[in-house]
């Protein structure tokens, strides 16, 4: 073989080895990030056992019948420069639902669910007295949520299959394995609830679980911008729509990414409880730019260079900070979601650990969260933040004592929050200040959260994962060069 050909082959082999080492490192890093994002089993059941579930109201509203009168066939307008395409049910005047609470079941997948997909819609519905909201899963045992949180479902699928405990609305979040065997009972349950007349709200990539349940055939739907391509390939019998905050098609509503579930839930509050109630709840949760009359059009996301910090954080998690999220009794669900989503699950900028004075924390509207007790067995943390707390006096004394013993301060990202401001705004500002601007902006994009109204300050770039990438690239280069040099000539 001519020497020139041999040199070219050796160079090609060196490049291939370098690429293989880099790819293997990135795959391993993403696996570590995903493993750390979903916590393992709880260490022990509380001495008194898990708290009992709240009693479900027995009166059944005729929510579906009232709302069906408002629906018209799907409308599609010819697109133009000034008139975006509208897909779904025509907006008409909404008559309030009849007396009696409307039951909303927020699904929690056995394989794990996205935190904000669960907690965001839960708080929206629970802020209205017209709704009774509960979590449901295959078994009544703690299940993981992204970012490092666990939730104890109030009821099982079997308990809510039919009768007075069956839901009128089902919220379907993104789950880890929507088409796997572990979620087969959930898929069947969702299909049965839809068949008996329940409305379905698919949040973010929860649209895949809705599609796998057979409910999107022949319908229009949307999802997170990053998964619409694969969904189009796997479910071609669904009309997948890009660039919409939510899409309605009959009794099925699907939303864009993560925080869009809040807007989708507000739309159902408007449909089932009236526009005045939706305005009141929407004003309380403070989603930027939301109003009942706001356009559903949003930027159609695409992968871009600006997403690099998100990818680097996911692929190079080593030496990342550990953020302890201190949970207080009665904390807002959306404030909790913001902490776990922005610091960890939706950014991979840190690993988050749920800490509390007791194992069980009950949120403002009755959701049961499971945390690591703030004692001698709790893991070490780089920072300790207490979401949803305005002053230091409101922090659980057990958390204060634990932090003092560990030499860390209790930080309050929501202190000084403006009236009507979303719980996500202060945490994004805090992420930018403690991590970097590029990571904060990429995190907002992947959570499909608008930040045009925010002033973010902090370092320009995320150097920890960048340096790890450069060191890995250098090490892979040296390894491949040495391997090729040692080959027989």
Same domain, 253 and 350: no
Domain-located, residue 290: no
The whole-angstrom separation of Cα 123 and Cα 367 is 9
Question: For the chain, what is the domain count?
Answer: 2
* Per-residue pLDDT, 369: 98
* Per-residue pLDDT, 59: 64
Domain-located, residue 1: no
CATH code, domain with 262: 3.40.50.880
CA dihedral 469, 475, 476, 479 (to 10 degrees): 180
The answer to whether 205 touches 254, Cβ cutoff 8 Å, is no
Same domain, 169 and 312: no
The whole-angstrom separation of Cα 339 and Cα 345 is 9
HEC secondary structure over 387-423: CCCCCHHHCCHHHHHHHHHHCCCEECCCCCCCCCCCC
Domain-located, residue 449: yes
Domain-located, residue 73: no
Same domain, 255 and 155: yes
* Per-residue pLDDT, 123: 98
Closest to 343 measured CA to CA, from 439, 456, 476: 439
Same domain, 258 and 140: yes
Same domain, 268 and 310: no
Same domain, 240 and 382: no
* Per-residue pLDDT, 83: 36
* Per-residue pLDDT, 64: 46
Domain-located, residue 14: no
* Per-residue pLDDT, 485: 86
Residue that terminates a domain, selected from 285, 320, 355: 285
Domain-located, residue 75: no
In order along its 489 residues, the chain shows pLDDT tens digits of 788 888 888 899 999 999 999 999 999 999 999 999 999 988 888 888 999 999 887 765 544 444 443 444 333 333 333 333 333 333 333 333 345 799 999 999 999 999 999 999 999 999 999 999 999 999 999 999 999 999 999 999 999 998 889 999 999 999 999 999 999 999 999 999 999 999 999 999 999 999 999 999 999 999 999 999 999 999 999 999 999 999 999 999 999 999 999 999 999 999 999 999 999 999 999 999 999 999 999 999 999 999 999 999 999 999 999 999 999 999 999 999 999 999 999 999 999 999 999 999 999 999 999 999 999 899 999 999 999 999 999 999 999 999 999 999 999 999 999 999 999 999 999 999 999 999 999 999 999 999 999 999 999 999 999 999 999 999 999 999 999 888 876
The whole-angstrom separation of Cα 165 and Cα 103 is 8
Domain-located, residue 481: no
Domain-located, residue 339: yes
The model's pTM: 0.91
Tokens of 217: 């055939």
Same domain, 327 and 267: no
Structural domain boundaries enclosing 461: 24-43+306-467
In sequence order, what E strands does 239-308 have?
A: 239-240, 246-249, 252-255
Same domain, 257 and 390: no
């Amino acid at each position: 073989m001519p020497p020139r050909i041999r040199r070219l082959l050796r160079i090609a082999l060196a490049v291939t080895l370098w690429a293989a080492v880099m790819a293997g490192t990135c795959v391993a890093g993403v696996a570590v990030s995903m493993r750390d994002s979903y916590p393992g089993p709880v260490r022990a059941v509380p001495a008194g056992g898990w708290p009992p579930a709240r009693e479900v109201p027995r009166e059944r509203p005729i929510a579906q019948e009232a709302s069906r009168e408002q629906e018209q066939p799907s409308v599609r307008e010819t697109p133009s420069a000034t008139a975006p395409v509208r897909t779904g049910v025509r907006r008409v005047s909404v008559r309030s639902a009849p007396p009696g609470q409307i039951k909303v079941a927020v699904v929690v997948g056995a394989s794990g669910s996205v935190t904000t997909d669960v907690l965001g819609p839960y708080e929206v519905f629970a802020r209205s007295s017209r709704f009774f909201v509960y979590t449901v899963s295959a078994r009544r045992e703690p299940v993981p949520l992204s970012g490092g949180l666990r939730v104890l479902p109030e009821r099982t699928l079997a308990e809510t299959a039919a009768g007075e405990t069956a839901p009128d609305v089902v919220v379907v979040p993104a789950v880890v394995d929507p088409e796997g065997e572990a979620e087969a009972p959930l898929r069947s349950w969702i299909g049965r609830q839809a068949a008996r007349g329940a409305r379905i709200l698919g949040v973010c990539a929860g649209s895949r679980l809705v599609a796998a349940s057979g409910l999107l055939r022949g319908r229009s739907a949307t999802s997170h911008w990053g998964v619409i391509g694969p969904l189009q390939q796997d479910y071609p019998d669904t009309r997948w729509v890009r660039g919409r905050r939510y899409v309605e098609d009959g009794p099925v509503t699907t939303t864009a990414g993560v925080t869009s579930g809040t807007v989708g839930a507000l739309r159902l509050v408007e449909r089932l409880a009236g526009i005045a109630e939706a305005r009141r709840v929407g004003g309380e949760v403070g989603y930027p730019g939301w109003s009942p009359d706001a356009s559903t059009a949003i930027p159609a996301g695409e992968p871009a260079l600006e997403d690099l910090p998100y990818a680097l954080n996911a692929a190079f998690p080593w030496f990342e900070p550990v953020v302890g999220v201190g949970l207080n009794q009665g904390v807002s669900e959306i404030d909790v979601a913001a902490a776990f989503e922005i610091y960890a699950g939706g950014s991979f900028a840190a690993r988050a650990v749920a800490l509390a004075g007791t194992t069980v924390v009950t949120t403002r509207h009755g959701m049961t969260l499971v945390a690591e007790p703030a004692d001698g067995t709790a893991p070490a943390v780089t920072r300790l933040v207490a979401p949803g707390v305005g002053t230091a006096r409101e922090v659980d004394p057990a958390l204060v004592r634990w932090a003092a013993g560990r030499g860390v301060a209790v930080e309050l990202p929501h202190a000084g929050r403006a009236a009507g401001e979303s719980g996500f705004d202060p945490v994004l500002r805090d992420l930018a200040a403690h991590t970097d601007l590029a990571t904060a902006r990429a995190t907002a994009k992947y959570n499909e959260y608008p930040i045009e109204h925010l002033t973010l300050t902090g370092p320009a770039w995320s150097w920890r994962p960048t340096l790890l990438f450069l060191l890995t690239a250098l090490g892979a280069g040296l390894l491949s060069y040495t391997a090729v040099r040692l080959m027989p000539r």
